[in-house]
Chain A
Amino acid sequence: MSDFRISRRGVLAGAAVLLASTAMPSFVFAQEPKKGGRLVVAADSEPRNLNPAIVASNGVFFVSSKVVEPLAEASFEGEDGLSPRLATSWEGSEDGKSVTFKLREGVTWHDGKPFTSADVAFSALQVWKPLQNLGRVVFKDLEAVETPDEHTAVFRFAKPTPFQLIRNALPALTAVLPKHVYDGSDIAANPANNAPIGTGPFTFAEHKAGEYYRLARNEAYWGENQPLLDEIIYRVLPDRAAAAGALEAEEVDLAAFSAVPLADLDRISKVPGIEVVTKGYEALTYQLIVEINHRRKELADLKVRQAIAHAIDKEFVVKTIFLGHAETATGPVPKNDKQFYTADVPGYAFDVAKANALLDEAGYPKGADGQRFSLKLLPAPYFNETKQFGAYLRQALAEVGITAELVNNDSAAHQKAVYTDHAFDLAVAPPVFRGDPAISTTILVQSGAPDGVPFSNQGGYKNADIDALIAKAAETLDAEARTKLYYEFQQKVAEDLPLINVADWGFITVARDTVKNVSNNPRWAVSNWADTWVEK
């Protein structure tokens, strides 16, 4: 990989310095961590299922990652970007058909039972592979998990599976569940899905619907002198304006995932005692993409798709919609990914004249009213930014003579319209890049996704070359060769535009400066917070 590339982390860290300049000293000088205290965190939603082994999504992880642990967590310093959790080491075989995990000894579940390899085998075969949204893809060839002793688990795959992929999947996909709680029950309906039992530094104490979640210190946690906090409270604050007020009124210590709207950051960063932190989301990059329905005759034409790409001013989107807290995208892998990103792809500079020329060439001249054709545009309702980009895209398309009819739905209606009924021409989506293209990125363009699967190729796109490339990368064991294939994948996607990548963004954490060890790993908001402490 090239060394001269400006890393996203560097840029964001720089931004953090500017934003939090008044509060920097507490960042710089290491202090002696203090034990005890309560951390109050703002939460904007209450997931209906809190089991991270079934629903691998950040909304669930935000609470449950402190209770249920994965085999390994993402790390800034660790080898391969990982630090051990329930597994202490992992090794892939030469033929790619097995991975051996050495498991941590002396770990107990919150109900006192010992943690063993049987729990890992059960979780992998009964939960991750058949039930988990991401595991269904990554662990599809997992055949068996052998448990030669209580602290060794050997994953056996039917087909060679790249060790690199398994490694990259460890933080998000491998939350381990207690076998003795789930075995023999209907796993999807187990009551522990709403009151999780894990091995993590905090136990699930209570949930008062509409008010708060309370996690309490796990006195028997395996980490030495961890956790530091006595308890974590997630206060449910559905109104986004309220989160900023709660921080200022010192009722909340921390708001992650941009719970404080971007527009308020400038103001709140000037409030004494409050820090704005942009670090800690490097492995949780969200991508702003335009999904395209290739069943529509006009959009099946590459020239039209190129024209749309040229009509979008990515710099403007980053500056105006994300207020600078994002980066322009060149393709399906974000610039901040150190393993897979390549800048060597066809680019689409903002060029209205070129877009118009391409549309003329494609055989869609402007009519008497200056319009070429009209499209139905459905922005996803999940983020302010996706909705705002929808409004921008409508204007940008109008500039090149394409009328876009904006259809704003709520989550359920959007899910049905786009992913089940395919009743859209263009849609705006925020998929997540999870450290390896094979986890949740290739399915955005691969053909053959069943109807109804969100964040998958539902646009009817089919490209045999790209499918073949994805299939080949899925069984290429050599990390370097596999990375090369993903370079090629990025080039092909940027060339043929099955979808248009516009920008990549991480989130912002706003915290009181009494909260220490914030954002010290690339998935911080969804990691276990065992070393987080508060100064009293």
Chain B
Amino acid sequence: MSGRTEGGAKERGLSFRPKSYRMNRALRLIRRRLLGALPVLLIVVVGSFLLLEAAPGDAVDAYAVSLGGDAGMIAALREAWGLDGTPFARLTAYLWSLLHLDLGQSVAFSRPVLDVVLERLPNTLLLMGAATALSFALGSALGIVAGSRPGSFRDRFLSIGSLALYAVPGFWLGLVLVVIFTVQLRWLPLSGMETIASGKTGFGRALDIARHLVLPVASLGFLYLALYLRMMRAGMAEVWRMDFVLAGRARGLSRSRIVLRHVARNALLPLVTMLGLQSAGMLGGSVVIESLFAIPGLGRLAQEAVGARDTPLLIGIILVSAVLVIAVNLLVDIAYAMLDPRVGAGEAQA
């Protein structure tokens, strides 16, 4: 493998790194990334606080729209909800409670933010996870089909088709799927996460949820499919020109073996990077899809939090999302380090 000298490997006189070394490297990577994440989270918290502060009107104004009330009542509400101090005082109070791992109380739900967020998180994770799996698996598979013979008819067809799909807005795709599969064919349920108050449990319930997720996952996943497809295809087109592919051919390897073992495998690495980057993008896309399909997830919750000017809730959501994105990227880094020994070696030694 790598020709560079490295302490542990040399002492043991091994020409490749043992498993324990690789684990160590991964652990150090995790530690470094987590430490690096702290300032990111702080910036996220302060940034979103300031943004909400800049929006006209606060939680009491949002509430007064339905309730009315005179100045005295409004002032009393501001005090009760802790909105009467200066922005700086409120921010420091919030950061102080955050330091104690307390995400605070949601104004709109009158419940702890963490409870509200954790209630919605599984739905979003399920939606995002399934959509990511769909777009990654289908995208890279079709990318291999397209990239196995760059410039062929099926390559052109798949590339153009995926681009067209990518250009379609998510909500429109969702609406079209609804019209076809729910309104016309009646194959799939329209919206929600599961059949309301159905009393189903276990496998029956899992199946029910899966049926409800088909359309939202398809509308969200198809959008990102094109990215993976095109990336896979472009990567493969490049690898085809490499010397080792030529060498493989010279050795008389079968075409399918070259495509799968040599070309596709080497083109896969950038896709893993993309996977990490897309996790953030998908959180954004899920706001629209969650509203359209009435899925109680984080995206819709964030939208409601903005409308109600529920600062603690919104920051809680953003914080949890940021942690999610950081975690996904960390996993991607680890996967990357596993796939390509060159990556992270220098960092882990430091």
Contact surface of A with B, Cβ cutoff 8 Å: 40, 47-49, 54-55, 57, 59-60, 133, 136, 189, 194, 206, 208-212, 214, 231, 233, 235-239, 241-242, 245-246, 248-249, 251, 382, 409-417, 419-420, 450-456
Please judge, given known A-B contacts A251-B190, A411-B62, whether A245 and B307 are in contact too, CB under 8 Å.
Answer: no
Q: Judging by beta carbons under 8 Å apart, are B64 and A452 in contact?
A: yes
> Are B196 and A212 within 8 A (Cβ)?
yes
Is the CB of B175 closer than 8 A to any CB of chain A? Answer: yes
| 4 tightest A-B CB contacts, nearest first | A210-B296, A412-B57, A412-B62, A133-B68
With contact pairs A251-B190, A451-B71 given, residues A194 and B110 touching in the complex (Cβ less than 8 Å): yes
Are the C-beta atoms of A413 and B291 separated by less than 8 Å? no
B103 surroundings in chain A (CB, below 8 A): none
Contact A209 B109 (CB under 8 A): yes
Known contacts: A210-B300, A238-B294. The answer to whether A245 contacts B65 by CB under 8 A is no
B123 nearest CB neighbor, chain A only: A210
A452 touching B69 by the CB < 8 A rule? Answer: yes
Whether a CB of chain A sits under 8 angstroms from the CB of B183 is yes
Interface status of B48 (Cβ within 8 A of chain A): no
Which residues does B use to contact A, with CB under 8 Å? 55-59, 61-72, 74, 108-110, 116, 119-120, 175, 178-179, 182-183, 186, 189-193, 196-197, 291-297, 300-301, 306-309
Besides A211-B294, A233-B197, A453-B68, 15 new A-B residue pairs in contact (Cβ under 8 A), listed by A number: A49-B67, A211-B192, A235-B294, A245-B178, A246-B191, A249-B186, A410-B306, A412-B65, A413-B57, A415-B61, A417-B57, A420-B61, A450-B70, A452-B74, A455-B68
Q: Which residues of A contact B297 (CB under 8 A)?
A: 210
Contacts of A414 in B (CB 8 A): 57, 65
Q: How far is the CB of A250 from chain B (nearest CB, A)?
A: 8
Q: Residues of B contacting A210 with CB < 8 Å?
A: 120, 294-297, 300-301
Give the interface centre of A60, A231, A450, A452 by most chain B CB atoms within 10 Å. A452
B292 nearest CB neighbor, chain A only: A239
B63 touches which of A48, A206, A211 (Cβ 8 Å): A48
Residues of A within 8 A of B308 (CB): 48, 412
Q: Which residues of B contact A455 (CB under 8 A)?
A: 68
Interface residue from A60, A231, A413 paired with B56 (Cβ < 8 Å): A413
Give B120's nearest chain A residue, CB to CB. Answer: A210
The minimal Cβ–Cβ distance linking B211 to chain A, given in whole angstroms, is 13
Residues from chain A with Cβ under 8 Å of B57 in the complex: 409-417
Partner of B64, one of A242, A249, A454: A454
Q: Which residues of A contact B71 (CB under 8 A)?
A: 450-452
Q: Are B182 and A54 touching (Cβ within 8 A)?
A: no
Bound-state Cα–Cα, A412 to B294, Å: 23
Query: Using Cβ atoms and an 8 Å threshold, which residues of chain A touch B119?
Result: 209
Cα of A381 to Cα of B175 in the assembled complex, Å:
24
Knowing A237-B191, A251-B190, A415-B57, the reply to whether A242 touches B183 (Cβ < 8 A) is: no
- 17 pairs, A vs B, C-beta closer than 8 Å: A48-B63, A49-B67, A209-B296, A210-B296, A210-B300, A233-B197, A235-B192, A237-B191, A237-B294, A238-B300, A251-B191, A412-B55, A414-B57, A415-B62, A450-B72, A453-B64, A453-B68
Residues of B within 8 A of A249 (CB): 182-183, 186, 190
Whole-angstrom CA separation of A47 from B110 in the bound complex: 12
Q: Are A417 and B56 in contact (CB under 8 A)?
A: yes
Q: In the complex, how many angstroms separate the beta carbon of B299 from the nearest chain A beta carbon?
A: 11
Residue of B65, B109, B197 touching A411 (CB-CB under 8 A): B65
Q: Min CB distance, B309 to chain A, in Å? A: 5
The minimal Cβ–Cβ distance linking B68 to chain A, given in whole angstroms, is 4
Q: Are B296 and A245 in contact (CB under 8 A)?
A: no
Cα(A409)–Cα(B55), bound, Å: 10
Residue of A206, A419, A454, A455 with most partner-chain B CB within 10 A: A454
Cα of A60 to Cα of B69 in the assembled complex, Å: 16
Inter-chain contacts of B295 with A (CB < 8 A): 210
Looking at the assembled complex, report how far the CB atom of A53 sits from the nearest CB atom of chain B, in whole angstroms: 12
Closest residue of A by beta carbon distance from B116? A209
With a cutoff of 8 Å between Cβ atoms, the chain B residues found around residue A409 in the complex are 56-57
Contacts of B108 in A (CB 8 A): 48
